[in-house]
């Protein structure tokens, strides 16, 4: 198992976000609980382990095929954002299971907006929360 590093490739992050966008959209359009759970599992791998997630593996393959220049960024805020994505994916699955499609859609739209901002504009909402809330609490003396 690979050791977690404090740097990851921004290109990979943006391609993963694009995949999350597509898979969340499919989940909401089709009402597929299983796909929300697969998204949650992928988020969990990225947030809490050093095991490469399927979406990250695919994104890494794409970056090699596209021959992108790696752009290193600080990984802990991205891991935190993946944890938030895990929460939203599980919530979508739960709301679909409970036959609450409007609540599932509302929750899904939040995840969609966050994934779109990351994929298209390199804006990580979870990273802002990490930097404004989590980091100051963790780094207190």
**Residue 119: domain span:** 8-138
**pLDDT tier for residue 21 given thresholds of 50, 70 and 90:** very high
Q: Judge whether 1 lies within some domain.
A: no
pLDDT, tens only, 41-69:
999 999 999 999 999 999 999 999 999 99
CA atoms within 13 A on the CB side of 13: 26
**62 domain residue, yes or no:** yes
> Is residue 46, in this structure, part of any structural domain at all?
yes
Question: Does the residue 44 lie in any domain?
Answer: yes
DSSP secondary structure string, 67-79? TPPP-EEEHHHHH
In a domain, 3, yes or no: no
pTM of the predicted structure, to 2 decimals: 0.93
Percent above pLDDT 70 for the chain: 96
C-alpha span between 71 and 30 (Å, rounded): 35
* pLDDT > 80? residue 3: no
What does DSSP assign to residue 133?
A: I
The mean per-residue pLDDT over the stretch 125-130 comes to 94
Give residue-wise pLDDT tens across range 88-116. 999 999 999 999 999 999 999 999 999 99
Task: Tell me whether residue 107 is in a domain.
Answer: yes
Q: Is residue 133 part of a domain?
A: yes
Number of structural domains found in the chain: 1
> What is the chain's mean pLDDT, rounded?
95
Give the pLDDT of residue 4: 62
User: N- to C-terminal Cα distance for the chain?
Assistant: 33
């Amino acid at each position: 198992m690979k050791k977690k590093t404090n740097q990851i490739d921004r290109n990979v992050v943006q391609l993963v976000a694009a995949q999350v966008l597509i898979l969340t959209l499919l989940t909401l359009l089709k009402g597929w609980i299983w796909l929300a759970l697969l998204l949650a599992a992928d988020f969990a791998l990225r947030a809490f382990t050093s095991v490469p997630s399927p979406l990250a593996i695919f994104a890494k393959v794409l970056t090699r095929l596209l021959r992108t220049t790696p752009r290193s960024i600080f990984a802990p805020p991205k891991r935190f954002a993946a944890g938030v994505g895990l929460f939203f994916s599980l919530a979508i699955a739960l709301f679909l299971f409970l036959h609450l499609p409007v609540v599932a859609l509302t929750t899904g739209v939040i995840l969609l907006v966050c994934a779109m901002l990351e994929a298209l504009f390199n804006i990580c909402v979870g990273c802002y929360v990490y930097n404004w809330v989590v980091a100051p609490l963790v780094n207190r003396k």
